Amino acid sequence: MTWVSQAVASLISVTLPLFDHPGERAPRRVTLVRLSGEIARSLVGIGPVAVEGEVHRPKVYPGGTWFTLRDRAAQMDVKVPGPAARRSRIVNGERVQVVATLQWANDRGQLHLVAESVVPVGEGAIAALIAETRSRLARDGLLERPRRPVPVLPGVVGVVCGTDAAVRKDIESVMAQRCPGYPLVFQETTVSGPAAAVGIAEAVQAVAGRPGVEVVILARGGGDAPSLLPWSDEGVCRAVAACPVPVVSAIGHEADRPLCDEVADLRCGTPSLAATAVLPDLAGLVTAAATLIERSARALDGRLAAATRRVEGIDTRRALTTGIDRAGSRLELAGSRLAGRHPRQRLAAAEAHLAGLDWHRPMWEALGRAGGRLDAEIRHLRALSPQRTLERGYAVVTGPGGSVVRRSSALAPGDAIGVRLATGRLAAIVTEISVDAR
């Protein structure tokens, strides 16, 4: 804080000369508005600063948060706009690092800092900030959401990383070993500092929207807790959860655990491990496919051999002999039944029936009854005989084909017909046909 105050005083003294002409001690006459404008313009040369101090008397206003940043020898008001305030932890008495620019307020005549970020300093404060963010994410169900599987053969692999060439080189070296030439797209962004969180969230959305991208890797090298804090930002975590494709988090080293690890679909200790988990091993896939084909061929050969052994094990001669033996057994059984108890019982019943007949009746009675039945049958037969029908005056008419004509509609004028009478036959030609109205 002290050096900022000193730098401001020095810059103002340079840009606002106290004398109109060299050697003269007379003050330069300026209006208050001009003086304020010159002060504001002089502050532009200082640029963004990162300054540490203790938070004193924070107050929340509709446009953001105000607090006083102070150390043992100086203090300055800090304005934190709404978007930056939502990403920051501002607790009274806590030591923080403020990344901000200097601003002169003409209406109040005061100098203050406009913060881009307010980051706690110290492991305890950083852990408390992460704990608060984790609580909000858990309340919205983002930590317990179902994880999406990483595709075995993604169309395109997207990578969000910084401009550091080491991380990109690690991923490209893994690709060269496992699947040379596999499609990769890199989305570089700022991965540390006050604007890193916004840049990372936008980079995730941008790379996921590229054609063919089916998985995204978040990759960053190691660092201390403050430098990795953007990867625990609530906006970054929500962007990871909202990503339309699976996200693999590989931030820092194995011991580093930013919050995006808890939201991502897969967590890997290093960018190299993430590339190994996502990029397919083409040689391994070819070997696995060959193994499966060989295993299937062996199984098929085994089944075929088993079926062949079963067919060869069938003795056709033995089967034929067995069938003949079975048929002979059935014949023997039938013969034994015919020669057994049942035919003898039938024969005994027939002998008893013959013995019960009355052979002593006069033969003429039996013959008379038989003759009577015979005469009755003859009379019945004569009554039904076609010849008797003809003798009563009826005739049988046959058509050209010799079939009996039963309907006049079966004939046509000019057809030759035959007429059979009780005695003799006639041949005739049909000259007229009439159909019975019934």
Which pLDDT value is given to residue 18?
41
The model's pTM: 0.51
Model confidence pLDDT, tens digit, residues 58-113? 899 888 899 988 887 788 899 999 888 877 778 888 888 888 888 888 878 888 88
Measure the CA–CA gap between 227 and 256, rounded to whole angstroms.
11
In order of start, what are the domains of the chain with their CATH numbers?
A: 2-119 (2.40.50.140), 131-283 (3.40.50.261), 387-429 (no CATH)
Residue 397: which of 414, 420, 429 has the closest Cα?
Answer: 420
Six-digit token string for 414: 């000019």
Measure the CA–CA gap between 377 and 384, rounded to whole angstroms.
11
In this structure, what are the phi and psi dihedrals at residue 397, rounded to the nearest 5 degrees?
-105, 130
The answer to whether the beta carbons of residues 204 and 216 sit under 8 Å apart is: yes
Measure the CA–CA gap between 211 and 157, rounded to whole angstroms.
10
Model confidence pLDDT, tens digit, residues 389-416? 767 777 888 888 888 888 888 888 888 8
Mean pLDDT, range 150-177, rounded to an integer: 88
Six-digit token string for 160: 């969000």
pLDDT band at 14 (very low <50, low <70, confident <90, very high): very low
What Rg, from alpha-carbon coordinates, does the chain have? 58
Task: Out of 16-20, 21-25, 93-97, 428-432, pick the least confident.
Answer: 16-20
Which pLDDT value is given to residue 327?
74
Measure the CA–CA gap between 322 and 109, rounded to whole angstroms.
122
Q: Which 8-state DSSP code applies to residue 361?
A: S
The chain-wide mean pLDDT, for the chain, equals 81
Mean pLDDT, range 113-138, rounded to an integer: 83
